[in-house]
Structure 1
Amino acid sequence: ELLVLMSQCLEPRFVFPALGGLLFGYDIGATSGATISVHSAELSGTTWFNLSSLQLGLVASGSLYGALGGSILAYRIADFLGRRIELMTAAALYISGALTTGLAPNFVVLIIGRLLYGVGIGLAMHGAPLYIAETCPSQIRGTLISFKELFIVGGILFGYLVGSYEIDVVGGWRYMFGFSAPLAAIMAVGMWSLPPSPRWLLLRAVQGKGPMEDNKKKAMNALRRLKGPSASDKVLTDEIENNLSSIKAAYADQAEGSIFQVFEGASLKAFTIGGGLVLFQQITGQPSVLYYATSILQTAGFTTASDAAKVSILIGLFKFVMTGVAVLKVDNLGRRPLMIGGVSGITVALFLLAAYYKVLSGFPYVAVGALLLYVGCYQVGALLVYMGYLMSTEWFEQLTCLVFQLSFGPISWLMVSEIFPLRTRGRGISLAVLTNFGSNALVTLAFSPLQGYLGPA
């Protein structure tokens, strides 16, 4: 089953959209090392290296503010552009943002580049899951969308690796940020070679924004390119008609509510829960741990930049492995118990990290262990839970369910997608995305000034 799934993941209709997620993750990982490099008198290779804590926070969070703007832009124009063009636009913004940042002659241009890259993130995070969902086989659609999360975490790991390699190079931050440009070029060429989403073409026809027969023919040609020449005309025609019928039924009976209806009745309760989960997902420190992993490790005893960057790879690798387990096992586990168990583990991890700075400063691996525990609880502890099921030992299950669980990472978004009434689901999820990027940007911006004002602990 896993081999079949992996073969599906190697298809261009999944790989090229998912590169948008990988490039988002890469930015997170690369920023961890770049914030050290750009701020160092020896390594920055600039005359304007002496950045304030607020300026350093802007370097780290600039792409997130761009992503917030990109999300708003996607909300307005994505259906007009279509999934394929949206992702090609995202790739172009990735390229321009990476090159502008990598070649920046001063701080202002650096931030402009970070914002441009972020707008690409906002468009990619909107368009990628839609293109995958609308073009991939229905029986593995949910799993493939979940695999996009794995691509994001793989990008984080890749960013840590590049950062570790370039951390001792003068001007290494330019290479860290600029390296995403060729990856984005591959994404752009790949999306250009793919057809438009057949379902989007049919949706435009149902909405009266395109001739029905012309769009059906275009959808048929797009579906033939996706399925290959071996697919029969009857199979393609049946799938087109089934898609058309479902779109007509959804469009007629389940019209989406206005933005204001999200703040009424059951939708308001759903937004309070879903938006609250996404908000706490960020303000419990996840952006700080990922964007500033190398900096945190430096203050935790790994004083040289290269040592801290190498240890950050361990955090990225652990996160990647646990995310892979989550993708494969998430449907076997419940939502609420996992959230409670995961948050409990996060609390323990943060207390351990603070304790290191206060009373355990002679044991730097306490800090590393705390960061690993945090990442594991945030993303996934399903491996230990699964081992508990295999061992059939009640005490082991209870212990692992208490400390290691699928926490904020995947569970928050699963709950957000499930709890909104159908009529306001699209608007509600859009607001949750804006809450996510907005709070993420604020936390990332605030970390460096807060650390200077309050101290690491």
Structure 2
Amino acid sequence: MDPADDYLPAIDDLKPETFHDDNAGAAEGLDDSIETTNPGKAVWLIACTVSMGGFLFGYDTGVISAVLVSLGTDLGQALSSNDQELITSITSGGALIGAVLAGMTSDKYGRKLAIYVGCAVFFVGTALQATAFSLAQMVVGRLVVGFGVGEAAMIVPLYIGEMAPARFRGRLIVFDNICVTFGQLIAYALGAAFTDVHQGWRYTIAIGAVPAIALAATMPLCPETPRQLISHGRDDEAKRVIRKIFPQATEQQVVNKIRVVRHSIEEVAASVSDKSLWWQMKQLFTVGANLRALATACSIMAVSQLGGFNTLMYYSATLFSLVGFNQATAVSIVVGATNFVFGFPNFAFIDRFGRRSMLLITVLGMSLSLVVVAIAFHWIPVNSDLSVTGPHEMTWASILLLVALIVYIAFYSAGVAPISWVGTEFLPLEVRALGTMLNTVTCWGCNIIISSTFLSMMKAMTPSGVFAFYAGICFLGWLFVIFCYAEVHNMPLESVREIYTHGFGVKHAKRLQRELREARANEQSAP
């Protein structure tokens, strides 16, 4: 086995709600030895194809940064700060709706159909934006694209997680995450390239239709996931897909895999079959252990969204233009590149150092970096209407601000960005789906708050005040990690759930971790 696989379980945890654990069947005595065989090339090609959806997600969220500074009066009017906030935040609102709808319908109608619908939605939204000559049409286009963003964020990792062999699942889901950040990076680069082209923002947006068309054209080559086929009684088709994923498997191993997946489906169905949504809601909010686990998950997600990162994702070009950079869209590429590159350290170190340690370092680093940004803004003359006082030129304060933001993004990408998706695995199976939905609502809800208030807050509180406010949120998040975020990496789920019966379980988790290390050491030293 590849040595890198030593930390794959932690990578798989990054979005645990995006797939079900078919391997649980092994604990019931079912044969899942097919997972020890080498997968074929088909699964890698399928994952690469479907990950174009992740690229689309990243591109359409990143492209708005350059568009905002290039619109001018192309929509029939000069845009106010409120107009810019509306254009930006409406996509997050659409994403919230798209994610919920995708989650509610994909089990019934399948993952592939959801991806096709997503491609169509992306295409329509892109066309509406690229041909917009009014604010209303641009807003509608951004809303429609938001539906696609939410659907892609929900369905693509779900499809990959259900299609991938267990030992490569982490890498393939990581690849989708990489495609998201790569899409954002490409959006920044193309935004910079078309900055000086007349109405170049239209071309930048229109290019987003290309991967949507390519994904729709190649999806017929990708099968439905075995789990979906089995859940709808299409076992023969599922066998063909499993043979394609595991070409070296025996016929008996294929049959056994069908049994393992069916067992997992039946286990999930049994856990909620006679439970109403109201019962699940009561269990989630009235059982202390469940509520503390949910609070932990949603609090870390809120910090990841309210800590200021999305202001850079959506308004970086506007911000860098404000502080004196002549090629603001080109400088914005630094945001995308840093976000892309520093996503890798988390995957390399999370299992070695643990989630709590990573958060303690990175969230504090985010807070301190934003303090430096707030101080740098104090020396950059900006009026209350966000116009510049004095000569519009780059100064030492501008350079300091850029460096501090790069450090901030590095801490964000290496820590809270991926870890914020971990928490809902701590919930019992019977309320996990509902907890996952609430975590998703927290993500997009906080995203809406940030994107719809940033420019208004800059005017009302001054830029220094705004970034000091975000620094304060990050600092509160760091305090939350110290007192309320238990270290649970490498623990079985039964132990994880036990932790939350002891308050937030920080001290109890430390004791369990120590006992687990001692047990492993005894096993290794035993003859």
Same fold (TM > 0.5): yes
Match of 2:405 in 1: 371
1:47 deviates by 5.5
Match of 1:262 in 2: 284
Letter in 1 for 2:44: E
Q: Does 1:442 align with 2:461?
A: no
Query: Contact between 1:94 and 1:116, CA under 8 Å: does it hold in 2?
Result: yes
Deviation per residue, 1:381-437 (Å, 9 max, x gap): xxxxxxxxxxxxxxxxxxxxxxxxx2x1011112x2332222211110111111101
Match of 1:288 in 2: 311
Closer/same/farther in 2, CA of residues 124 and 411 from structure 1, 3 Å limit:
same
| Cα distance in structure 1, aligned partners of 2:202 and 2:44 | 32
- SS of residue matched to 1:456: helix
- SS of residue matched to 2:324: coil
- SS of residue matched to 2:50: helix
Match of 2:242 in 1: 223
Match of 1:312 in 2: 332
Paired residue for 2:152, among 112, 124, 135? 124
Closer/same/farther in 2, CA of residues 60 and 15 from structure 1, 3 Å limit:
same
Match of 1:391 in 2: none
Deviation per residue, 1:132-179 (Å, 9 max, x gap): 111111112123223322111111111111111111112122122221
| Cα distance in structure 1, aligned partners of 2:78 and 2:461 | 21
Match of 2:365 in 1: 345
1:376 deviates by 0.7
Deviation per residue, 1:26-48 (Å, 9 max, x gap): 1222111011111x25xxxx252
Letter in 1 for 2:313: L
Match of 2:254 in 1: 236
Match of 2:302 in 1: 279
Match of 1:37 in 2: 70
Give RMSD over aligned pairs: 2.3
Query: Contact between 2:271 and 2:429, CA under 8 Å: does it hold in 1?
Result: no
Query: Contact between 2:96 and 2:441, CA under 8 Å: does it hold in 1?
Result: yes
| Cα distance in structure 1, aligned partners of 2:206 and 2:87 | 14
Deviating beyond 4 angstroms after TM superposition, the runs of 4 or more aligned structure 1 residues are 1-5, 7-10, 225-228, 253-257
Match of 1:59 in 2: 87
> Structure 1 regions of 5+ residues with no counterpart?
205-211, 381-405
Letter in 1 for 2:145: Y
| Cα distance in structure 1, aligned partners of 2:303 and 2:75 | 39
Query: Contact between 1:9 and 1:15, CA under 8 Å: does it hold in 2?
Result: no
> Structure 2 regions of 5+ residues with no counterpart?
9-39, 382-394, 465-527
Paired residue for 1:75, among 95, 100, 103? 103
| Cα distance in structure 1, aligned partners of 2:428 and 2:320 | 44
Closer/same/farther in 2, CA of residues 183 and 144 from structure 1, 3 Å limit:
same
| Cα distance in structure 1, aligned partners of 2:144 and 2:250 | 44
Deviation per residue, 1:56-87 (Å, 9 max, x gap): 11111221111011022123212112111111
Stretch of structure 1 that moved more, 171-180 or 352-361: 352-361
| Cα distance in structure 2, aligned partners of 1:247 and 1:445 | 40
Closer/same/farther in 2, CA of residues 327 and 234 from structure 1, 3 Å limit:
same
Closer/same/farther in 2, CA of residues 130 and 225 from structure 1, 3 Å limit:
same
Query: Contact between 2:75 and 2:133, CA under 8 Å: does it hold in 1?
Result: no
Q: Does 1:324 align with 2:344?
A: yes
Closer/same/farther in 2, CA of residues 139 and 21 from structure 1, 3 Å limit:
same
Paired residue for 1:455, among 451, 462, 483? 462
1:216 deviates by 0.9
Query: Contact between 2:323 and 2:380, CA under 8 Å: does it hold in 1?
Result: no
TM-score (norm 1): 0.84
Letter in 2 for 1:189: A
Stretch of structure 1 that moved more, 8-17 or 367-376: 8-17
Letter in 2 for 1:440: N
1:231 deviates by 5.2
1:108 deviates by 0.7
| Cα distance in structure 1, aligned partners of 2:314 and 2:336 | 11
| Cα distance in structure 1, aligned partners of 2:419 and 2:295 | 16
How many residues align structurally? 411
Closer/same/farther in 2, CA of residues 264 and 192 from structure 1, 3 Å limit:
farther
Letter in 2 for 1:412: S
| Cα distance in structure 1, aligned partners of 2:4 and 2:213 | 29
| Cα distance in structure 2, aligned partners of 1:8 and 1:243 | 22
1:225 deviates by 4.2
TM-score (norm 2): 0.73
Question: Sequence identity of aligned pairs in percent?
Answer: 28
Q: Does 1:432 align with 2:439?
A: yes
Paired residue for 1:410, among 418, 424, 433? 418
Match of 1:197 in 2: 225
Match of 2:487 in 1: none
Q: Does 1:23 align with 2:42?
A: no
Letter in 2 for 1:55: D
Query: Contact between 1:29 and 1:163, CA under 8 Å: does it hold in 2?
Result: no
Query: Contact between 2:268 and 2:429, CA under 8 Å: does it hold in 1?
Result: no
| Cα distance in structure 1, aligned partners of 2:198 and 2:54 | 29
Letter in 2 for 1:417: T
| Cα distance in structure 2, aligned partners of 1:161 and 1:257 | 49
Q: Does 1:181 align with 2:209?
A: yes
| Cα distance in structure 1, aligned partners of 2:213 and 2:3 | 30
1:296 deviates by 1.2
